[in-house]
Structure 1
Amino acid sequence: MTMTVSNRPWLAAYEPEIAPELPQPNYASLAHLISHSCAAYAKRRAFTCVVPNGMNGTLTYKQVGAMSDAFASFLRHHCKLSPGARVAVQLPNGLGYPVAAFGVFKAGGVLVNTNPLYTPSEMVHQFNDSGAEVLVISDLFADKLEEVIAQTGIKHVVLAGVPEFFPRIPETIVRGVQKFWSRSLPPVPALNVPVLRLRDALKIGRGLEDVTDWDTLSSDDLALLQYTGGTTGVAKGAMLTHGNILANLEQVKVMGGQHMSGEDCVLTALPLYHIFAFTANLMTFFDLGARNILVPSPRPVQNIQRALENYPVTWITGVNTLFNGLMNEEWFAAYPPKTLKAAIAGGTALHQAVAERWQDVTGTRVAEGYGLTETSPLVSFNPLHLAVRAGSIGVPVPGTDVALVDDAAEPVEQGKPGELLVKGPQVMRGYWNRPEDTAQTLQNGWVFTGDVAVMDEDGFLTIVDRKKDMVLVSGFNVYPNEIEDCLSKLDTVLEAAVIGVPDRATGEAVRAYVVQNPDVPDHVTKESVIAHCRKYLAAYKVPKSVILRDELPKSPIGKILRKDLKAEARAEFAGKV
């Protein structure tokens, strides 16, 4: 496929100092960037981890540098890892995560980010698919090891706790509370591979030769095997190079412009093992010399309260459900953070009602962006100097081209919906060991995103929906995002998800799953949902069925999983239509 981009209407939306093309990154690799920041900002506080009771631990840039150096030496000399070897890091947000991840890069290894909540079967798949040789895992989930390790090529296991590197007394208290309430710190079972605490691994590393050859890394070398969330099937490892991530960091910083600096304090409630927080929170703000406030788990949302009350947070990244949840908290609505500059939304569609309410509650905007695991992730962003465009994911970031095409991969007319294609320096090399999937998704440098979008005359993009989530009702295209956005305006609805289900008369019919808003005295009913939709939607878009739920299935970052609801519906309708 050959695609030509003749004009770029979005360039006019850039601030005057933004060049259309992306400048070359200042670093040859992520290890180079990390080492530079640790030296340049040595005395600054880099990371503070805050647990729900307010206890915390902090590492300076200098400490992060020394610890990640030691972990790199541990990997290369004690674990005998060769450059390019895979290291799986399965940790929630905490001080152990940057130490481990940065050490992997300094050792010339490839980071395999792994969800701590994975089941043993999911762990076995990812470790074997990636070829991971070392695993850094939270001690909260050590009970999974016995079932997993024997089925994989893991040769070394390192355990880290949520209060890792906290001062001794807070660490002891937090570990005691975890044991008492969750009873989730069982003895580590006897394994056929060595098991070490992270502190012990660093102690070993400090006694070994420094790893000094990371400077041989180039931008073309593989940095991450970042597995897709599996929302559309079996998780695949996107091969992201040092150059991909470095380019995306520049794109983030360019779009942030004068609004982002080393004086910032970013709240990181989204998991660092997810590409959104990894790039936007961890790497971008570390490059700037700013401070990261790490929250191990944002669920329930009250877990964020102490972090927001005790630290001068200037940026928050999140998904629609996080922002919605915060505003339903009395403590947040009454005392929103005074130092906040803006919030960044991504991962899933931001509902207009949520964005408007956030502006009213906090006095700041939610700037929506768009990205994919396959693009490191940022593709587009709403310029902060312009007025908010409701529902838009903004304009392509510098150095990025986009195209909208029909099912025949032919460009659509301006203003018409089409599948969004992306090309730029942040685009992955391909999927690890999956040439067929790579050929389907990546063609001549263009990523076929599977998302349907429209572009206005100014180059601003709006996602209509996932191509695979579109519902076909009597030949009419129905996009779940539109209906979900409509439902978000109903006071009695806290959350909603829309899918298509089989229907004898229309082929497919719209079904809505809704959750009651606990802060509203009136009860949501099937009849009230349908009546509300009839006011604002064409008849064929109105849900034919409404299911009331206590909660909806979500991914680790809070994205509502339509695929799980579709699976339920398939089982329900099997053999009936």
Structure 2
Amino acid sequence: MTAILPELNPQGFRTIPEILDYATATYGPHTAFSALGAKLSFQDLDRKTAAFAAYLQQAGLMAGDRIAIQLPNLLQSPIAVLGAIRAGLVVVNTNPLYTATELRHQLIDSGAKAMVVISNVAHTASKVVPHTDVGLVIVTEVGDMHSLLKRKLINFVSKRVKKLVPKFRFANQVTFRTALRVGARARAVKHSAQSSDTAVLQYTGGTTGPARAAILSHSNLVANMAQVRYHLAEATGQPGDIWVAPLPLYHIFAFTAHNLVFLSRGCHSLLIPNPRDMNSFAKALKGKKFHGFLQINTLMVALVQNKAFRKLDFSSLKITVSGGAALTMDAAAKWQALTGGVVSESYGMSETSPGITGNIIGKEQLGSIGVAFHSTNIRVVDEHGHDVPDGEPGELWVQGPQVMQGYWNAPEETQNVLTKDGWLKSGDIVVRGNDAAYRIVDRKKDIVNVSGFNVAPNEVENVVSQMSEIAECAVIGIPDDKTGEALCLYVVGKNENEAPTKMEIIKHCQQHLTSYKLPKQIHYVETLPKNAIGKVLRRELRSKHKSECDQTPRQS
């Protein structure tokens, strides 16, 4: 395990609870998080996470047990995450948009013993939980952290008016508010975490099928928090500065930034539960003096076109950090034209907690992912593992204290990406410039990055192949202005007259895959290109798609 250097970590943090303790003592009455008009001070956060931790312990959960947290960006999220970690549990970040198939895989693979779920998607979980080891389900509603009258109003509208809460039932179910109330009366047993203890299982698209979980220790996450703070320096913000949080906290980019980096600096994370609702998003920011924005290319493209968002006051905005997916020049230019600020692109992976590189603040280069973070070693290597000179493309390998411990229950996949001396093979092809800045030029692996979420082609192919009329299929990633990359599906029907329609394929996929895993384009072909042993040659499909696009006349 690589040590965290003192200059990166002057407070000497070893574990995540130590960060919370420091933040509470230093910034007590200041706002730590807000959402939908409700606020949570650092002192409130400390009390409620302690209560939640005590409840989990009283419920019989032990240190090392896994707890799945399936929440949007609400105040309940940092309470549940930090409370579970205080109790010594391992957080399993879980996407609320998961289908039953995806959720079942994650709950079974992680061996989760408990779950926290938002009521809006609890009906999906209720179909899955009986087939897993989950023995306790804590259900929360959207308005649970508001005052009595507002809470009842928000929850009534969500359930009765908008009908966003389908019926559900769990055998061992308790409400989030009950858990906090019972926990507040209980005597918590302080768990003394070790830096090497696992804190989070972060699922990411596996190279050969369903998602795999990167094992992230306290040391991994604390190290990356320290690296990001050091890299951003004063741009991180001062106590009370507002960082807008539209990216989901279950995604590692926002998870580390808001739960650790900004928390440790006393900043205020303004949570946006549903960034797709652009007008509500703009309303939440109206009149606010926000310091920073965590962004992703997809969202920037949509926001700059929204009339309400365009009317906001951006005079206090000092920094916008983009990550999770490639930043397009067009999106960066439009964001700068609207807000007056340059976008600072960063790069990372779920396997690295996540940060690896970032642009130097004030010296941003569009098209570059920046320079290596402090205490991060990077090699650019050829297919034989030999270093290539600057200016030549090669695969990015990274070594540092933020690199995961391995993949959960997947020793073979771990060996494929992690060398014995700690080098993680990213699968991304980069070029290093003379100024030590890196630029991504290609992807070695087949994983497709859709709006910051990794999608394994095999997972989609396995679902499509279940259709009896399909002989075989293949998925590739294609460039997309809105999502960075999108899925393109090539289908071979069992015979010319039996191939399902595109709509039938999409409807089938919707039953098993979350929305960002759905194919955006579907093409019918007679055969798929293969090598001598029958492996589908995705690179030829990518070349075929590019050639067809180049030959398509542009519409004037």
Q: Same fold (TM over 0.5)?
A: yes
Quick one: which of 220, 229, 235 aligns to 2:196?
220
Residue 154 of structure 1 pairs with residue 134 of structure 2 = yes
Residue 126 of structure 1 pairs with residue 106 of structure 2 = yes
Name 1:535's counterpart in structure 2: none
Q: Tell whether the 8 Å contact from 1:162 to 1:296 is kept in structure 2 after alignment.
A: no
SS at match of 1:430: coil
Name 1:410's counterpart in structure 2: 386
**Aligned amino acid, residue 137 of structure 1:** V
Q: What is the percentage of aligned positions where both structures have the same residue?
A: 35
**Aligned amino acid, residue 379 of structure 2:** A
Q: Distance in 2 between matches of 1:154 and 1:502?
A: 38
Query: After superposition, what is the alpha-carbon deviation per residue over 1:112-168, rounded to whole angstroms, capped at 9, x for unaligned?
Result: 111111111211111111111110100111212331121000111101122221122
Residue 423 of structure 1 pairs with residue 399 of structure 2 = yes
**Aligned amino acid, residue 375 of structure 1:** T
Quick one: which of 156, 165, 173 aligns to 1:195?
173
Q: Give 1:495-534 correspondences, 5 Å limit.
A: 497=485
Name 1:30's counterpart in structure 2: 16
Name 1:538's counterpart in structure 2: none
Q: Distance in 2 between matches of 1:438 and 1:267?
A: 35
TM-score (norm 2): 0.80
TM-aligned CA distance change 1:290 to 1:574, over 3 Å: farther
Q: Distance in 2 between matches of 1:390 and 1:161?
A: 41
Quick one: which of 106, 116, 121 aligns to 2:86?
106
Q: CA deviation at 1:25?
A: 6.2
Query: After superposition, what is the alpha-carbon deviation per residue over 1:234-271, rounded to whole angstroms, capped at 9, x for unaligned?
Result: 11010000000000001110111112222310111100
Q: CA deviation at 1:469?
A: 5.2
Q: Tell whether the 8 Å contact from 2:52 to 2:183 is kept in structure 1 after alignment.
A: yes
SS at match of 1:73: helix
Residue 575 of structure 1 pairs with residue 555 of structure 2 = no
TM-aligned CA distance change 1:183 to 1:23, over 3 Å: closer
Q: Distance in 1 between matches of 2:206 and 2:10?
A: 33
Q: CA deviation at 1:23?
A: 4.7
Name 2:26's counterpart in structure 1: 40
TM-score (norm 1): 0.77
Name 2:67's counterpart in structure 1: 87
Name 2:498's counterpart in structure 1: none
Residue 445 of structure 1 pairs with residue 431 of structure 2 = no
Q: Distance in 2 between matches of 1:557 and 1:251?
A: 33
Q: Tell whether the 8 Å contact from 1:20 to 1:398 is kept in structure 2 after alignment.
A: no
Q: Tell whether the 8 Å contact from 1:308 to 1:337 is kept in structure 2 after alignment.
A: no
Q: CA deviation at 1:233?
A: 3.2
Q: Tell whether the 8 Å contact from 1:106 to 1:211 is kept in structure 2 after alignment.
A: no
TM-aligned CA distance change 1:43 to 1:501, over 3 Å: closer
Name 1:14's counterpart in structure 2: none
Q: Tell whether the 8 Å contact from 1:69 to 1:211 is kept in structure 2 after alignment.
A: no
Q: Distance in 2 between matches of 1:123 and 1:358?
A: 35
Residue 135 of structure 1 pairs with residue 115 of structure 2 = yes
TM-aligned CA distance change 1:228 to 1:249, over 3 Å: same
Relative to structure 2, which stretch is displaced further, 154-163 or 428-437? 154-163
Q: CA deviation at 1:456?
A: 0.3
Q: Distance in 2 between matches of 1:230 and 1:497?
A: 17
Quick one: which of 348, 357, 374 aligns to 2:351?
374
Query: After superposition, what is the alpha-carbon deviation per residue over 1:425-476, rounded to whole angstroms, capped at 9, x for unaligned?
Result: 00000001100000001112011111111010110001112223599xxxxx
TM-aligned CA distance change 1:185 to 1:45, over 3 Å: same
Name 1:179's counterpart in structure 2: 159
Q: Give 1:34-433 correspondences, 5 Å limit.
A: 34-50=20-36, 56-77=37-58, 79-189=59-169, 191-192=170-171, 194-212=172-190, 214=191, 216-229=192-205, 233-260=209-236, 261-386=238-363, 388-433=364-409
Q: CA deviation at 1:179?
A: 2.1
TM-aligned CA distance change 1:564 to 1:179, over 3 Å: same
Residue 468 of structure 1 pairs with residue 407 of structure 2 = no
Q: Distance in 2 between matches of 1:344 and 1:573?
A: 41
TM-aligned CA distance change 1:360 to 1:104, over 3 Å: same
Q: Distance in 2 between matches of 1:91 and 1:422?
A: 31
SS at match of 2:201: strand
Q: Tell whether the 8 Å contact from 2:345 to 2:359 is kept in structure 1 after alignment.
A: yes
**Aligned amino acid, residue 250 of structure 2:** Y
Q: Distance in 1 between matches of 2:514 and 2:128?
A: 24
**Aligned amino acid, residue 164 of structure 1:** D
SS at match of 1:132: coil
**Aligned amino acid, residue 49 of structure 1:** A
Q: Tell whether the 8 Å contact from 1:57 to 1:163 is kept in structure 2 after alignment.
A: no
List alignment gaps of at least 5 residues for structure 2: 449-475, 492-505, 530-556
Q: Tell whether the 8 Å contact from 1:319 to 1:557 is kept in structure 2 after alignment.
A: no
TM-aligned CA distance change 1:68 to 1:497, over 3 Å: closer
TM-aligned CA distance change 1:158 to 1:312, over 3 Å: same
**Aligned amino acid, residue 45 of structure 1:** T
Q: CA deviation at 1:20?
A: 11
Q: Tell whether the 8 Å contact from 1:271 to 1:557 is kept in structure 2 after alignment.
A: no
**Aligned amino acid, residue 372 of structure 2:** P
**Aligned amino acid, residue 431 of structure 1:** Y
Query: After superposition, what is the alpha-carbon deviation per residue over 1:505-544, rounded to whole angstroms, capped at 9, x for unaligned?
Result: xxxxxxxxxxxxxxxxxxxxxxxxxxxxxxxxxxxxxxxx
Q: CA deviation at 1:280?
A: 1.4
